[in-house]
Amino acid sequence: SSLHSGAFTWSSPSNIALVKYWGKKENQIPENPSISFTLDACKTTTTLKYSKKESGADFSFEVFLDGEKKDEFKPKIETFFKRIELYLPFLRAYHFKIETSNTFPHSSGIASSASGMSALALCLMSMENQLLMSSEGGKPLNDGFFTEKASFLARLGSGSACRSIEGDVVVWGKHADIEGSSDLFGVKFPYTVHENFKNYNDTILLVDKGEKQVSSTVGHDLMYGHPFAQERFKQAHKHLSHMIDVLKRGDLKAFISLVESEALTLHAMMMSSMPYFILMKPSTLEIINKIWAFRNQTGSNLCFTLDAGANVHVLYPEKETEQVLEFIKNELVEYCQNGHYICDTIGFGANLL
Ligand code: PMV
CA separation, residue 307 to residues 4, 206, 266 (Å): 42, 12, 8
Q: What are the start and end residues of each CATH 3.30.230.10 domain in the chain?
A: 5-189
Query: Dihedral of the CA atoms 218, 13, 290, 321 (nearest 10)?
Result: -170
Per-residue pLDDT tens over the stretch 58-82? 999 999 999 999 999 999 999 999 9
Give CATH 3.30.70.890 domain extents, the chain.
Answer: 195-345
Confidence at 285, pLDDT banded by 50, 70, 90: very high
pLDDT, tens digit (0-9, with 9 covering 90-100), for 131-151: 999 988 889 999 999 999 999
**Alpha carbon distance 47, 109 (integer Å):** 23
d(CA 26, CA 218): 14
Task: Give the lowest-confidence range in 106-110, 203-207, 278-282, 303-307.
Answer: 106-110
Q: Quick one: which atom of ligand 1 is closest to the CA of 111?
A: 4
Q: pLDDT, tens digit, for every residue of 176-186? A: 999 999 999 99
Q: Yes or no: is domain 195-345 CATH 3.40.30.10?
A: no
Which atom of ligand 1 is least distant from the CA of 161?
A: 1
Architecture of the domain delimited by 5-189: 2-Layer Sandwich (3.30)
The ligand 1 atom nearest the CA atom of 160: 1
The answer, yes or no, to whether residue 42 has pLDDT greater than 80, is yes
Radius of gyration of the chain (CA): 20
How far is residue 21's CA from residue 123's CA, in Å, rounded to a whole number?
25
Q: Looking at this predicted complex, what is its ipTM?
A: 0.99
d(CA 294, ligand 1 centre) in Å: 28
Per the CB < 8 A criterion, the answer to whether 115 and 100 are in contact is no
Ligand 1 centroid – CA 289 distance (Å): 24
d(CA 198, CA 149): 28
C-beta separation of 207 from 312 below 8 A: yes
28 Cα–ligand 1 center, Å: 11
Check residue 109 and give its pLDDT: 66
Q: Which of 27, 79, 271, 307 to mutate to test the pocket of ligand 1 (most atoms within 8 A of CB)?
A: 307
* Global confidence as pTM: 0.97
